[in-house]
Structures are given as structure tokens and as C-alpha cells.
Amino acid sequence: MFEQYIDINPSVKKAIEEGKPVVALESTIISHGMPYPKNVETALNVEKIIIENGAVPATIAILKGRVKIGLTKEEIDYLGKSKEVVKTSRRDLPVVIAKGLDGATTVATTMILANLAKIKVFVTGGIGGVHRGASETFDISADLEELARTNVAVICAGVKSILDIGLTLEYLETKGVPVIGYQTDEMPAFYTQKSGFKVDYRVDSTEELAKTIKIKWDLVLNGGVVVANPIPEEFSMDYNVINHAIEEALKEADSKGIKGKVITPFLLSKIKDITEGRSLESNIQLVYNNARLGAKLANALVFK
């Protein structure tokens, strides 16, 4: 029944039908994560990296009420330029489709739609989580609930460092979501390799990672897997510098009463300004790094 709302790009559809490796990509990073034209340039480079590493990219979005699994270059450019794109999470999806709107998919929504299209590997920058001060605001990302229910492996550079990393890891543990560090024992914190928190388990090869994920789903242990892939050291920001920028951005958000779905784009933009653009470059490089690993994992899963 859901097929009536979805258009799958012919190259993506062919790859899925032939059992070839496919990697899902979100679109919020295009519409809300970076300024134009850097957002479009980055999105196209991510797709190129996935192709170069032997997989088929499938950027996901909603355009004029139609779910698109795999965007054209023109559609990516349109998303990057438009100011009328709705940041679309699970709760928003049916409304955006019914109203014929344009929507950029969050981690949660990308997982939902990738799973419907039978795509099992998804690359993003960082996952959402428990926001700082959540004991009062109850601000917890829908990403965590989706990870608890949807069978998609999410390659990320850890939890966005603007969040409460410790509480996010506790929440994922409660939901039975394994957090696996790729060649790391420590949970990366988006812009930096360090967070002060440990991952649940470490793996050092894509073959071991694919085997672990396959066993999880073979045992009907429904839910996703967080694959924490640290930003390359040469692009990692100083832990103290980025934390100072985050604290400054959080204070401004609080003083302006900014909350809900708009707070993450606001904070990322503010941190970019405070760090004079260095955080944006780190953001781009960690996504490229995740794309390489995502393509390799998709290939490894094909042969499991």
C-alpha cells in the first residue's frame, strides 16, 4: 500500500532488485544543515564517494508530496536553494505528503523510508539524542525511538556534541540499541574523536561489523544499530574549543527561547560562526568519512 506514495529512482530500484549494495542518505543536511551552495556541493560529493566505493547512493526527500528514494542532481540543487522545505520527522511525514509539501528527511524519517525501500545501510553526520536540560524540557530526539524499532544500520560520527551524550547512550541502552565503535573504544562526539564515554563494543573490520548486524536481525532483534565512526584526526576540532562554542551557542538559544526542531540548525549555524567556519569544514569531512564506511558496509552485507 505504501508504494503509491513513493518514487524510487530507476538506478536505485535496479540495484535493490539485483541485490547490489545501496546506501541511504538523509536530506536535512542539504536543506537545514549547511548554507548554499556548500550544502549541494557536499551532497553531490557524498554520492560520488559512495559510487567510488562500489555502492549506489540513495538520497531521500519528499518533493511536492512525493517520497523520493534517490534524487537527481537537479532535485538536490532545488532542495539546497529552497527556503520552504519542512524538516520532516516521523510525526510530520503524513502531513507533508498529504499537503503536497517539500520535506527534508531527518535521521528518523530516512530510516523509515530506507527500510520501506529495503535499504539497510544509512549514512548521516551525527544522530540526534537527549538534549541538554532534558530533565526539565523532555526534549529527546525521535531518532532514538526509530533506532529502537527500525532495522537499519546508521553510520554516524557519534552523537551531535550539542547534546547530552551520556544520557543519549543510557537511552539507547534501555531501548536495546547496540552502539558499535568502528576502530574506536570511545564514543566520538561529532566534531571531535573524544567524548569521555565508551561505546558498547568495538569492531575493526567491515566484515565483522556486517556479521554482527546480520546476526542481530537473523535473531529477530528488531531495531537499528549505531555505528560510531570517528571524524579523521586531521579534521577533528579541539575538544575544549568546540565545547566552549557549544556552551556559548546554547546560552544564546536559551535567551532567545529557541527550542524544538529548529534548535539543532540554529546551534550548528551559531557554532559555525563562533569557530569562524572551522566546524563546517569538520562537519563536511566527517560526512565524507562516514560515506566511505557506509559503502564498504553495504558491500559487506551483500555477501552475508
d(Cα 165, Cα 167) in Å, to the nearest integer?
6
Cell (9 digits) for 36: 548554499
Domain ranges of the chain: 2-302
Amino acid 279 reads: S
pLDDT, block means (10 residues), the chain with 304 residues: 95 97 97 91 98 98 98 98 96 98 98 98 95 79 96 94 90 98 96 93 98 97 98 89 79 79 74 79 95 98 78
Residue 300 is predicted with a pLDDT of 97
**What CATH number does the domain located at 2-302 have?**
3.40.1790.10
160 is catalytic: yes
- Which of 202, 158, 151 has the alpha carbon at shortest distance from 177? 151
Catalytic residue among 68, 87, 120, 160: 160
Residue 304 is predicted with a pLDDT of 61
Q: What is the pTM of this model?
A: 0.92
| Phi and psi, residue 298, nearest 5° | -60, -40
